[in-house]
Amino acid sequence: MRIAIVGGTGDFGQGIAVRLGAHTDHELTIGSRTAEKAVDAAAAYCEIIDYRSTESISGASNDRAVSTAEIAILAVPPFHIRDTVRGLSEQLKETTLVTPAVGLAKDETGFHYRPPDEGSVTELVADVAPDETPVVGAFHNLPAGKLADLETDLDVDTLVVGNDPDARGRVASLAEEIEGITAYEAGPITNASEIEGITPLLINLARYNEQLQDVGARFC
Amino acid sequence: MRIAIVGGTGDFGQGIAVRLGAHTDHELTIGSRTAEKAVDAAAAYCEIIDYRSTESISGASNDRAVSTAEIAILAVPPFHIRDTVRGLSEQLKETTLVTPAVGLAKDETGFHYRPPDEGSVTELVADVAPDETPVVGAFHNLPAGKLADLETDLDVDTLVVGNDPDARGRVASLAEEIEGITAYEAGPITNASEIEGITPLLINLARYNEQLQDVGARFC
């Protein structure tokens, strides 16, 4: 399967790219606003994974990366999501669009969940994406540092929401291909808000508990 | 230590009472609006725990239960919280007041988090409680059925918020006395909202995943 990681040169982009590259055999395209930056990142990720499972990791502009992908993961900061999705509307078509982003604010007491007016980032993406593009929320609560460090075994859950059950199942299956990630479906995108809200909580837990640095959540 | 469980005749009240009764040696008083109902519940809980650790489980009216307690747990539905805390303001004084309640709404897609105007139920309780009463949010995301069934081993985390670090620590220590519960502190009560929001998510997970019935959360 061809997977695009839109804005895949940042921390989360690197984490998800190296895990998918090391644990699955899908063809990955790292996307960036400038193709050159994406090509450099792709080369760096290939070195990190030392040519394990993946067929290939290449780099391209975001629109080119998305145009041939079956699944596109939006690894862009929440405040760029709206414009990024709008800018890709020609290329997206029936590509399953996956959003892991979360709206956060920080004050002296900690991080707080600040969803957009649409109710959640997932719902915002669904609002902006073309009608024929299935939107799925997933990968929200993964520990970014551990994700990027292939020496660390993961043992975390990811919750998957989407209004199209097939697309939701496709993304859940992809997530489960990464060793140490268990995916659970959590229904339509109206259920995204409570999932996105866990991310600031995980950051707060790291602040108040030495033993909870860069943790994820498990449900059991 | 004397612990009151306000409104302790309901499902959550029973769960937390039998766990505290079976795993700790604290003196428990079950509170209810009518003393008679509380006395009956206390007798039933004594039978369930078969006189394990606890010194005693007695029943009393809510205000009488609270008046001698060092810790009072508010096991009342969220829509009764405001009036219940107001009605206990004479008795509370420096009793540490623990709130596990969560505001929920249900529609055809699932359960959703609906906090009160104060931002969270924990902040609502702090708003209504007397100034000298330390308010702590805890026990929000425990699986109610498993909690009440002493044959089931627990393996869940509870997150504890409060503006008074001593009170927060006291409640975290109490929670950890229950076998299978790990307590983590999560800072001031402004961080309560994201914790309370996990409860509807857990209910949604049960709806969409056969293997996730009555689960809690773990952070690791």
Burial of A83 (0-12, 13-18, 19+ CB in 10 A): exposed
Of A191, A194, A205, the CB nearest to B219: A205
Contact present, A102 and A121 (Cβ < 8 Å):
yes
pLDDT in tens, B36-95: 999 999 999 999 998 676 768 999 999 999 999 999 999 999 999 999 999 999 999 999
Give kind and range of the element (H or E) at residue A30: strand A27-32
Surface of A (152-191) touching B: CB under 8 A: 155-156, 159, 184-188, 190-191
Minimal CA separation from A210 to chain B, in Å:
10
Is the ipTM higher than 0.90? The answer is yes
Amino acid at B79: F
Looking at residue B56, what is its pLDDT? 85
Residues of chain B in contact with residue A215, where contact means CB-CB under 8 angstroms, are 219-220
**What is the CB-side half-sphere exposure of residue A176 using CA atoms within 13 A?**
12
CB A160 within 8 Å of CB A220: no
pLDDT at position B155 is 97
DSSP state of B55: S
Average pLDDT in chain B: 96
The chain B residue lying nearest A217, using CA atoms, is: B219
Q: In this complex, which of B208, B212, B220 lies closest to A215 when CB atoms are compared? A: B220
Q: E strands of B92-220, at which residues?
A: 96-99, 104-107, 110-113, 135-137, 156-162, 181-185, 217-219
Mean pLDDT for the stretch of residues A9-14: 96
Q: Which domains does chain B have, with CATH numbers?
A: 2-208 (3.40.50.720)
Sign of the torsion formed by the C-alpha atoms of A174, A165, A70 and A15: negative
Tens of pLDDT, residues A148-192: 999 999 999 999 999 999 999 999 999 999 999 999 999 999 999
**Pick from B145, B162, B157, B181: nearest CA to B20:** B181
DSSP string, A49-66: HTS-S-SEEEEEEHHHHH
Cβ distance of A107 and B190 shorter than 8 Å: yes
**Residues of chain A found within 8 Å of residue B185, distances taken between Cβ atoms:** 208-209
Specify the pTM: 0.95
**pLDDT tens, position by position, B97-118:** 999 999 999 999 999 999 999 9
Say if A195 is an interface residue toward chain B (CB within 8 Å).
yes
Strand A110-113 relative to strand A104-107, pairing: antiparallel
Across the interface, whether the CB atoms of B202 and A219 are under 8 A apart is answered yes
What average pLDDT is seen over chain A?
96
Q: How far apart are CA A43 and CA A57, in angstroms?
A: 8
Rounded to the nearest angstrom, the minimum Cα separation between A179 and chain B is 16
Distance CA A189, CA A122 (A): 7
Q: Which residue has the tokens 């503006």?
A: B163
Mutate to test the interface with A, among B120, B122, B160, B204 (most CBs of A within 10 A): B204
Q: How far is C-alpha B113 from the chain's CA centre? A: 18
Task: Give the per-residue pLDDT at A50.
Answer: 84
Distance from CA of B58 to the nearest CA of A (A): 33
- Angstroms from A43 CA to nearest CA on chain B: 32
E-assigned strands of chain B?
A: 2-6, 27-32, 56-61, 71-74, 96-99, 104-107, 110-113, 135-137, 156-162, 181-185, 217-219
Beta pairing partners, A196: none
**Alpha-carbon A59 to chain mean position:** 17
Q: What is the pLDDT of residue A56?
A: 85
pLDDT band at A88 (very low <50, low <70, confident <90, very high): very high
Q: Taking CA A185 as the corner, what is the angle to CA A141 and CA A66, rounded to the nearest 5 degrees?
A: 70
Name the residue in chain A with its Cα closest to that of B112: A191
Residue A6 main-chain phi, psi, to 5 deg = -70, 130
**B163 pLDDT band (50/70/90 cuts)?**
very high
Q: Which two tokens stand for residue B78?
A: 């969220």
Using CA coordinates, name the residue in chain B closest to A111.
B191
Confidence of residue A126 (pLDDT cuts 50, 70, 90): very high
Q: Quick one: pLDDT band at residue B146, thresholds 50, 70, 90?
A: very high
User: What CA–CA distances, in Å, run from B27 to A18, A44, B17, B176?
Assistant: 54, 61, 10, 17
Whether residues A193 and B109 touch (CB distance < 8 A) is answered with: no
Mean pLDDT across B19-29: 95
Q: Which pair of tokens denotes residue B97?
A: 């007041």
**How confident is the model over A111-133, as a mean pLDDT?**
97
Backbone phi and psi for residue A64, each to the nearest 5 degrees, phi listed first: -70, -40
In chain A, whose CA is at the least distance from the CA of B213?
A220
* Contact residues, chain A, for B136 at CB < 8 Å: none
Work out the minimum CA distance from B150 to partner chain A, whole angstroms: 17
What residues of A are in contact with residue B220 (Cβ under 8 Å)? Answer: 155-156, 212, 215-216, 218
User: In the structure, what pLDDT confidence band is assigned to residue A52 with cuts at 50, 70 and 90?
Assistant: confident
CA distance B38 to B30: 6
B83 min Cα distance to partner chain A (Å):
27
> Do the Cβ atoms of A159 and B205 come within 8 Å?
yes
Amino acid of residue A14: Q
Give the best residue of B141, B190, B201, B209 to mutate against chain A (max A CB count within 10 A).
Answer: B201
Q: Does residue B141 carry a pLDDT above 90?
A: yes
Provide mean pLDDT across the span A59-79: 97
- Nearest Cα neighbor of A211 from B179, B194, B218, B98 is B218
| DSSP secondary structure letter of residue A152 | S
Q: Cβ of B202 and A212 within 8 Å?
A: no
Task: Answer yes or no: is pLDDT of A104 > 90.
Answer: yes
C-alpha distances (whole Å) from B23 to each of A56, A174, B152, B154, B179 are 55, 42, 13, 12, 7
Give the Cα separation of A111 and A103 in Å (integer). 10
- A42, A119 in Cβ contact below 8 A? no
